[in-house]
Amino acid sequence: MPILRVVLSRFLTTLITLIGVAIIVFVVVRVVPGNPIAMMLPPGASTADIERLSALYGLDKSIFEQFTIWFGNVLQGDFGTSISTRQPVLDLVLGRLPATLELSLMALIIAVILGMGAAIIGTRYRGRRTETGVDLANGIGLSVPDFLWGLLLIILLGVVWPLFPISGRVSPRLDLPFSTQFYLIESIFRLRFDLTGNLLRHMFMPALALALPLAAIIAQLLKQSLKETVNLDYAVLARTKGYSETRVILSEALPNALLPTLTLIGVQFTFLIGGTVIIERLFSYEGLGNMAVDAVINRDLPLIQGIVILFALIFTAINLLVDMTYAFLNPRLRHA
């Protein structure tokens, strides 16, 4: 029952958080300088044209009036219409969300593989040059931001050794038979591995750029935990039974060292999704982050609101998921 109470409490907190985010983003985008109407004024426009366009886009009302109308519509599932694209905001953000989720998940998988691999190798060869090498790589991974990794990858794997495409999510030449926006997953289900390969090639560099800083964080924390657990009694006992050092680490130390790393991955994953804004821009990847930049540049207020709320929803959902997973894995909470 405590878990159920925790979950209900978190759901309530999430709801309040989302309403708070909605209010803040609605007010902030209207208070910060930069009026979308002023941006669309052509040469020859007059003050009367400003008023006409403001009325057309509903920006002639007070912020409170605008908010009540918008929030009432949101409760009915209508997030408004994008000013720049004239498409429903909900369609736009839901249409781009899968691309960002697939990219983020791919980055997470790469980060976990690289991070865990580095931590295990560093622990296995602790006190040797290999550990120093792992620490050095971690240091570089932590100190270089993701967009710089992106630029380096573009130069190395896009230009000097052109193995991967530099821009886009999929080759424009391909006919896409997809009925959802989850291209990668759908291509696998449809057994269209030619498309899967093409999607992976486009995804590789941006995902790696996003993954490297997170991989370094995972490696650092997990290695620290592993180094503590490999000296605990059960690990020493395993060694006396004749287990190899690698087996001691993998089967005895790792399961116990993973818990704090898991929490960290959950928290860092939200930052990783935030990082997609710059990386998607750099690689012209057609995700939510790329769309967010355009929305901000164009002062597309309804679209900014929709994207921010969706990001907030994702962040709170991830945090909720992490909390629940932690509660499930932690015996003290599970049996409380």
Partner 1 sequence: MITHPNRRTLLKLAGASAALAGFNLPLSAFAQEANELVIAYNVNLPSWDPTVGPSAVNPTIQGFYQSVFDMFIHQDPDLSFKPGLITEWGWNDDNSKIFMVVRDGVKWHDGSDFSAEDVVWSLERAGKAETGNPIQFTWSKIGNFTIDGNRIEADVLEFDPTIFKWMSFLTGYVLPKAYYEEVGADGFEAKPIGTGPYMVESYERNAFVRLKANPDYWNGAPAFEAVTIKFVTDAASRVAEIESGNSDVTLEIPYEEYDRLTGGEFEGVAEPISDIAMIFLNDVEPMLDKNVRLAAHMAIDKQLLIDRLLSGYGVPISTLQTPEYIAYDSSIEVAYDEEGAKALLAESGFSPENPVRFKIQTTRGFKPKDYEMIQAIVGMWRRVGIEAEIEVYEIAQHFELRAADQLAPAAFYNWGNAVGDPTTSTGFAMFGPSPHSVWDGQDLMDRIIPLWGEADEEARIQGWKDVDRFIAEEGLVIPLIQYVQPIVYRPGLTVTAHASGALLPQLIGQA
Binding residues (CB under 8 A) for partner 1: these are 33-50, 52-53, 56, 82-87, 92, 95-96, 151, 154-155, 158-159, 162-169, 172-173, 194, 197-198, 200-201, 204, 281-284, 286-287, 290-291, 293-294, 297-299
Assess contact for 81 and 295: CB atoms under 8 A.
no
Q: Give the list of residues 6+ apart from residue 206 with CB closer than 8 angstroms, or none.
A: 103, 107, 150, 276, 279, 280, 282, 283, 285
DSSP state of 88: B
Cβ-based nearer residue to partner 1, 18 or 166: 166
Q: Is 14 left (phi over 0), alpha (psi -120 to 50) or beta?
A: alpha
What is residue 224's three-state secondary structure? helix
Supply the DSSP string of 56-83, one letter for each residue.
HTTTTS-HHHHHHHHHHHHHTT---B-T
CA atoms of 265 and 318, how far apart (whole Å) = 10
> How many Å is the maximal CA-CA distance in the chain?
87
Going from the C-alpha of 31 to that of each of 52, 72, 83, 235, the distances in angstroms are 21, 21, 18, 59
- Contacting residues for 301 by C-beta, under 8 A, at least 6 apart: 29, 30, 36, 59, 83
Spatial CB neighbours of 67, under 8 Å, sequence gap ≥ 6: 23, 26, 27
> Measured between alpha carbons, how far is 209 from 206 in angstroms, rounded to an integer?
5
**What are 36's two structure tokens?**
């979308």
Q: Which two tokens stand for residue 303?
A: 């679209």
Return the residue matching tokens 């400003």: 50
Cα separation, 165 vs 174, in Å, equals 14
